[in-house]
Amino acid sequence: MARDFDGTNDRIAFGSDASVDNFTALSIAMWGRVDTAASAFDVLFRKSSANTNGWQLGYLTFGAARIYFQAGYSGTGADLASWSMSALAAGQVRHIAIVLDPSSASNNPVIYVNGASQTVTTETAPSGAYGADAAATLQAGEDAGGGSDFDGAQQNVAYANALWDAAAVNRAMWWGRPHGGIEVYHPFYTDKLANEGTATADGTATGTVVLPMACPVQRPGSAMMGMGAGW
Tens of pLDDT, residues 63-98: 778 899 999 999 987 778 999 998 778 888 999 999
Nearest to 69 by CA among 103, 26, 127: 26
Taking a C-beta distance cutoff of 8 angstroms, is the pair 83, 121 a contact? yes
**Band of pLDDT at residue 38, cut at 50, 70 and 90:** low
Nearest to 102 by CA among 125, 133, 71, 76: 71
d(CA 79, CA 207): 30
Tens of pLDDT, residues 116-152: 999 999 999 999 999 989 989 999 999 988 999 999 9
Nearest to 83 by CA among 116, 49, 60: 60
Tens of pLDDT, residues 203-216: 999 999 999 999 99
d(CA 163, CA 3): 26
**Domain annotation for the chain: domains and CATH numbers:** 2-225 (2.60.120.200)
Q: Is the pLDDT of residue 224 over 70?
A: no
Give residue 64's pLDDT: 74
Q: Is 62 or 35 the better-scoring residue by pLDDT?
A: 35
Instruction: Give the H/E segment covering residue 170.
Output: helix 166-175
Give residue 221's pLDDT: 52
Computed over every residue of the chain, the mean pLDDT equals: 90
